[in-house]
Structure 1
Amino acid sequence: MQDFIAEDGISKEILNSAKLLQAVQVNALILGNAGTGKKSLAKYILPNSDIYEAKILQKDINDDILLLQNEAIIIDKINEITNIDLFLKWLDDNNIRVIAISNTENLNQKLKDIFSINLEIPNLNKREEDTKALVNKFSQEASSILDLPKIPSSKLIVNISNNTHSLRKSIYFSYLFETIGEHEILMFLEKYLSENLRGENSYKDLSYIFEVPLLKASTKKYKSQVQVAKHLGLNRITLRKKLEIYKDLL
């Protein structure tokens, strides 16, 4: 059975609803942004069911090549179903139960009407305890897969901007970062820059690659703009201009 992390109160409520859905034969819709755990929750509800991509499923229904009857299935990206009437007729004719997944609530009303229960999973920035548990899970995973000693939480880079997708990547990067030095960092930068050099203003266009990390590190370490300006060797007016230019990245 696939794990759905539920340490926060709201996640525990969602998991309780999922347990109910294991026992009752109704259609349900799971909503949430990418990386919030929709597939994990769907597999928790239907651990033995296959996951179908909506577009491919619709094509297979249209081509009449599916041999499904009296089954429960998981449908990912249900919002991409376009021939609603064909899809609904197929569900009815074959007695198919659906646990559906969608990144958006913007669904056709006929489609919305088939779901008895909607479960909406919040982003990780609203699930602090879940995030801590996921950090620990991904840290153990990275340590095992990369065959590296587990590193302290203070050294982990935690990026939840894209929920678990970015979080897992940032934790793995934290482990890899422990194995690389200045030479490798410069090598990675050179590769990235060489692939993105274009036009006649490359220096201006790509300078943020150096300046944003430097500004972020400095503002975290020195706290006040006076100290940041002093240690970077900038006057405060120049520092304020740079902070304004990069405010969306800091």
Structure 2
Amino acid sequence: METFFTTSDKIQNIIKSFNLTKTLFVSSIIIGEAHTGKKSLARYLFPNATLVSGEDQEEVKAALSDHDELIITDFEKLSNQSVLDFSNKRIIATANYMGNPALIDDLFAFIYTMPSLQERPEDINYIKDLFIKEALSTLMIEPDTFNADEIPLNLTMNTKSLKKSIFTYLIQHSMDDKDIKEVLYHYLLKHLDGNDEYREHLGLYEIPLIEAGLKKFGSQLQLSQILGINRNTLRKKIHEHNID
């Protein structure tokens, strides 16, 4: 059975409303940004309902004729919504945007708005912990090798970008020098082309070296000594690479 965690008042109100109308053959739609959990919420509320995607008009048409209870995801992608007949059916649709407001209002008795992750800070922490556990298992990383509070979270695409930011961080911070060389090898194998490529790709090595050194030592003078180069040479490279 699909599970769904939330501490958001807005989502809890949606759940309460659905539970109050579960016995009625009325249609509802949940509208919100992509990757906010609309489909998961619908499947949590109606675990036995058949699920189809609005990307396939014929599949939706066939499902409507065969089932009285149906979840239609990506509803905005249906090309001919006006011919749909929801009479005596319980339809739960999800959509990333409203589309035709008048048509939506005619088809659905209830219209709900799904809040983004940025509007649900407590949910972010819960989902973050789930993704970290998944990443640790998938990547076979020990949990005591990093600080979860230092992971920069990207919420621009809700759970999709959140998950990617966690996996990316853990991959980056678990690589050894062999892994880094392998990454650089494949990058250069793909991008080496043209003239003066040594100078063109020198920044791949110098920029992270200088930025990490400045962050770690906080002094150009000390960093120049650590790197074994002249201070003026270091200043020149900082200027060339536009390093703050």
Asked whether the 8 Å contact 1:33–1:123 carries over to 2, the reply is yes
Partner amino acid, structure 2, of 1:54: G
1:51-200 correspondence to structure 2 within 5 Å: 51-56=51-56, 58-60=57-59, 67-69=65-67, 71-86=68-83, 88-89=84-85, 91-92=86-87, 95-107=88-100, 109-151=102-144, 152-196=147-191
Q: CA deviation at 1:178?
A: 4.5
Aligned CA RMSD, in angstroms, stands at 3.7
Partner amino acid, structure 2, of 1:140: K
- Equivalent-residue separation in structure 2 for 1:200 and 1:126 (angstroms): 49
Once the two structures are superposed, residues 188-246 of structure 1 have per-residue CA deviations (whole angstroms, 9 ceiling, x without a partner) of: 23323433556779889988877887798689x48xxxx687769447x9489666xxx
Q: Which residue of 2 aligns with 1:248?
A: none
- Equivalent-residue separation in structure 2 for 1:115 and 1:212 (angstroms): 55
- Equivalent-residue separation in structure 1 for 2:206 and 2:95 (angstroms): 38
Q: CA deviation at 1:12?
A: 2.8
Asked whether the 8 Å contact 1:28–1:117 carries over to 2, the reply is yes
**Stretches of 4+ aligned residues off by more than 4 angstroms:** 64-67, 196-219, 227-232, 239-243
- Equivalent-residue separation in structure 1 for 2:131 and 2:199 (angstroms): 37
Distance 1:216 1:72, change over 3 A: farther
Distance 1:229 1:12, change over 3 A: farther
- Equivalent-residue separation in structure 2 for 1:215 and 1:38 (angstroms): 44
Distance 1:65 1:27, change over 3 A: closer
- Equivalent-residue separation in structure 2 for 1:125 and 1:179 (angstroms): 28
Q: Radius of gyration: which is bigger?
A: 2
Unaligned runs of 5+ in 2: 225-233
Once the two structures are superposed, residues 27-57 of structure 1 have per-residue CA deviations (whole angstroms, 9 ceiling, x without a partner) of: 222122222111111112212222211131x
Aligned residues: 228
Query: Matched residue of 1:113: which SS?
Result: helix
Asked whether the 8 Å contact 1:155–1:174 carries over to 2, the reply is no
Asked whether the 8 Å contact 1:159–1:167 carries over to 2, the reply is yes
- Equivalent-residue separation in structure 1 for 2:211 and 2:4 (angstroms): 33
Q: Which residue of 1 aligns with 2:227?
A: none
Distance 1:120 1:242, change over 3 A: farther
Q: Which residue of 1 aligns with 2:38?
A: 38
Distance 1:157 1:15, change over 3 A: same
Once the two structures are superposed, residues 48-107 of structure 1 have per-residue CA deviations (whole angstroms, 9 ceiling, x without a partner) of: 222211131x22366x586514x2211111111122232x23x33xx3221111111223
Query: Matched residue of 1:55: which SS?
Result: coil
User: TM-score, normalised to structure 1's length?
Assistant: 0.71
Partner amino acid, structure 2, of 1:29: I
Asked whether the 8 Å contact 1:138–1:171 carries over to 2, the reply is yes
Q: Are positions 1:48 and 2:41 aligned together? A: no
Sequence identity, in percent? 28
- Equivalent-residue separation in structure 1 for 2:242 and 2:199 (angstroms): 15
User: TM-score, normalised to structure 2's length?
Assistant: 0.72
Partner amino acid, structure 2, of 1:60: E
Asked whether the 8 Å contact 1:19–1:45 carries over to 2, the reply is no
Distance 1:218 1:48, change over 3 A: farther
Unaligned runs of 5+ in 1: 244-250
Distance 1:228 1:117, change over 3 A: farther
Query: Matched residue of 1:144: which SS?
Result: helix
Partner amino acid, structure 2, of 1:167: L
Query: Matched residue of 2:66: which SS?
Result: coil
